[in-house]
Amino acid sequence: MKFLRWIGERLSPQPRKRESHNNVHQLLQEAHDHLRLGEYDKARAPLLQAIGSRDDINESETISYILTSLGATWLLTERYEDGIVFFSRYIDRYSEDSEAYSGRAEALWYTGRIRDAIRDYSRALELKPNNILSLSGRGQVLGEVGEHGRAIEDLDLALRALETVSAPDASWAKWYEQIEAFVHNGRAFALAGLGKNGAAMDEFEVSIRLSPENAWVYHNRGQVCELAGDQENAIADYQKALSKKNPALTPNRKAHAQARIRELSNHS
């Protein structure tokens, strides 16, 4: 199914708002084309224009798509503070839109404000309890703060929710596959925190098979290897994490990987 037709079916066809709807259609098609090419800065402008018609869009899935896509444009260009500012202002006006909290939570997570991220993910899940991205995000953040049992609960719910999703076309199927990879990466880290290193390594392998260019999975596996005393593989994984770009590590994680490589190399 073509994206324009798919998103068009989700917009209210009321005649008095047809001009506004057609404009939103065009803006979303333009943004989608840029997103497919990885042109995130170019995609942001039409998405911002589209969400400017928020009051005229009666289908929640369209609003969710716009907000989620906007969040990605800031994350993937490392403009985290810009995303936080936008979503904070948006929430002041539209406090019941789950994806706004989820988008801000991601940006907060990437800047290291973990507890604030958990708060926002939790609010997003109060509004949409089965939201895959919010479950995946909160699960991974909980794993980072050592709440491994709670992390597994969220991540398992995310996997179950993914099983019920049908993708409109091949590009969406790939997107859902990427999300599944992130969930398995989070589960691996949480399982290692529970002392289940064998199961954790199996989960890392699943994640890598689904998304081999994801830098985060190698960074997480490097940490697990390091804690297990496997310095050689830890260094190798940290090096891979620095070379992968889809998605790349955040600046603070890059700095961490570089520091661990230096430290471990000096003691090997």
List b or e across 141-155, with b for residues whose CB sees 16 or more CB atoms inside 10 angstroms.
bbbbeebbebbbbbb
pLDDT of residue 19 exceeding 90, the answer is: no
Element (H, E) at 48: helix 40-51
pLDDT bin (cut points 50, 70, 90) of residue 14 is very low
* Residue (of 220, 225, 227, 213) closest to 256 by Cα position: 220
pLDDT of residue 142 exceeding 70, the answer is: yes
pLDDT of residue 9 exceeding 70, the answer is: no
pLDDT bin (cut points 50, 70, 90) of residue 67 is very high
Q: Using alpha carbons only, how large is the chain's radius of gyration in Å?
A: 19
Q: Cβ(225)–Cβ(197) under 8 Å?
A: no
CB hemisphere CA count around 190 (13 angstroms): 24
Q: Which residue has the tokens 């989700």?
A: 10
pLDDT of residue 150 exceeding 60, the answer is: yes
Element (H, E) at 233: helix 231-243
Share the mean pLDDT of the chain. Answer: 90
Q: Which residue has the tokens 């994490």?
A: 241
Q: What is the mean pLDDT of residues 154-168?
A: 88
